[in-house]
Amino acid sequence: MKRALLWTVAGLVVLVYAFPFVYLVLTSLKPPVDAIAVPPTVLPQRFSLDNYRTALAREGVADSFLNSVSTAAITTVLSLALAVPAAWGITRYRTRAGRVLLAGSLLVRMTPAVAIGVPLMGIMGGLRLSDTPTGLALAQTTIALPLAIWLLASFFESVPREIEEAALVDGCSRPAALWRVILPVTSGGLAVTGIFAFLASWNEFLFALLLTSLRAQTTPLAIANLQTQFGLDWGPMTALATLYSLPAVVLTLLLQRRIVAGLSLGAVKG
């Protein structure tokens, strides 16, 4: 009885959280007229792929997907490349400067993105990186990097120091011990951190709005621009939003085991 009640409650919670996405997908499969019907219906009266054809036929949509992928990839690589040595140094040397850096990363993470958006426009303009995936990725790294440092610091903290000391005794240098021993042990934590950094870039809208115009425009902007003279074009918008969510969903499912292992690693100190 208790197990059945638990499963019922869990199913209801999943249904509540999943309903907006399910409604998004169902709306994208409606004929264009039904997508803007009032009052709206949850289930399509008939299924149609017209919204997907219309969305993909819009000029710039395909390029926006490529820009989103390249920007998110650069942001993820930069965040991990900078966060790994920073978090490792903080947890292994335990200096006052390291604690200040960790607290500072939290402070930066809490700073509203709009507060640094305008300065970043001037910086990227001076570097001639405006309206480029590289410039946008550098800006988005300011959002992803603080979280990556915090996550990796907790993962590295859970690794016993004896493992690293054994590698040093065997002749490894500290960088070699980090690369050959610590990182393989915390691979689940790296997967979790990489996914959060990827999603921070993949879902970002403000910096993309401020720092891009045509050449580096990402898909969130392309979705927002799906309008007609009568208002928002809900059918193509939901179709493009559905397509845009698929890479994040697939990536999470592929790395599901590593994510669970990484979360478990960071939850208990070794």
pLDDT in tens for each of the 270 residues of the chain?
A: 778 888 889 889 888 888 888 999 999 999 888 877 778 888 888 888 999 998 998 888 999 999 999 999 999 999 999 999 999 988 888 888 888 888 888 888 788 888 888 899 899 989 889 889 999 999 999 989 998 998 898 888 888 888 888 888 878 888 888 888 888 888 888 888 998 899 999 999 999 999 998 888 999 999 988 876 667 788 899 999 999 999 888 888 887 776 666 555 544 444
What's the confidence (pLDDT) of residue 263? 59
Q: What pLDDT, on a 0 to 100 scale, did the predictor assign at position 240?
A: 93
pLDDT number for residue 38: 76
Q: What is the spatial distance between Cα 265 and Cα 259, in angstroms, rounded to a whole number?
A: 10
**All domains in the chain, ordered by first residue:** 24-36+45-267 (1.10.3720.10)
- The dihedrals phi and psi of 151, each to the nearest 5 degrees, come to -65, -50
Q: What gap in Å lies between CA 109 and CA 15, rounded to an integer?
A: 31
pLDDT at 171: 80
Confidence at residue 6, expressed as pLDDT on a 0 to 100 scale: 87
Tell me what pLDDT residue 15 has.
Answer: 86
The pLDDT of residue 137 is 94
How high is the pLDDT of residue 258?
67
Angle at CA of residue 24, ends 60 and 19, nearest 5°:
150
Amino acid 270: pLDDT: 43
Dist CA 254 CA 121 (whole Å)? 36
Residue 153 one-letter amino acid = A
Structure pTM? 0.84
